[in-house]
Amino acid sequence: MAMLEVKDLEVYYGMIQALKGISFQVNEGEVIALIGANGAGKTTTLHTVSGLLTPKHGSVTFEGTEITKIPAHKIVELGMAHVPEGRRVFPSLSVLQNLKLGAYTRKDKVEIRETLEMVYSRFPRLEERKNQPAGTLSGGEQQMLAMGRALMSKPRIILMDEPSMGLSPIFVNEIFDIIQKVSAGGTTVLLVEQNAKKALSIADRGYVLETGKIVLEGKASELLNDESVKKAYLGE
């Protein structure tokens, strides 16, 4: 059974149909890349999976439980975390306060401390800056904070929306290294990313979205070598 199963999702913004019956699945331990041009429906897909949007039709099933009608904050408790586009850190709160907010669904203080140590070991820069207001961090550091905050909920699956957006090339490489480490640590990853080449280079499988439909799917290595993908998304 797939860890996450998305079936026939249709989502509208008013009269405009953003998703036109998409279906895909994510198996435990995989890194899945969703790629496509701006406006293809990638962010809408993540928002619907994590409960921020309600579909008009279709279902989302997570570890055997249908979560289509469950409110977003309850979905976090089930083991899903979402790193939104644009990072969305709380700028006036310290780095440490931002991280602790990520653990709000958890009660065991000892376990929370252990997770915090794990996050610091993965992102040493966050520990160095733990007392700084999050708004004073660079873009790359804020992205690390957003990822660290999501990991504080100890998710079984993490949804990442455009983690490399607006970052310098050196930070982009660092963020992708971290995504691989998160995956190696046992967390399943569903990744939406404009940098299709980078995303497919670390993913197991990929889905290509075009105007609200999945037009191509397959092993990431195959998609990297697909002529139509190369032309449309890899700038070749």
Residue 200 CA, distance from chain mean position: 14
For residue 73, what is the domain's CATH number? 3.40.50.300
The model's pTM is 0.90
Residue 170 domain boundaries: 4-86+157-233
Is residue 120 domain-resident? Answer: no
Domain presence at residue 97: no
E strand intervals along the chain: 4-13, 16-26, 31-35, 57-62, 65-66, 80-83, 157-161, 188-192, 205-210, 213-219
| Cβ burial, residue 204 (10 Å; 0-12/13-18/19+) | middle
58 domain residue, yes or no? yes
DSSP lists the bridge partners of residue 208 as 35, 216
Contact criterion met (CB below 8 Å) for 157 and 79: yes
The answer to whether residues 209 and 45 touch, using CB atoms and an 8 Å cutoff, is yes
Residue-wise pLDDT tens for the chain (236 aa)?
799 999 999 999 999 999 999 999 999 999 999 999 888 899 999 999 999 999 999 999 999 999 999 999 899 889 999 998 877 898 889 999 999 888 877 778 888 889 899 899 888 989 999 999 998 998 888 988 999 999 998 899 999 999 888 888 888 888 899 899 889 989 999 999 988 999 999 999 999 999 999 999 999 999 998 888 888 877 65
**CB-CB neighbours of 81 under 10 Å:** 23
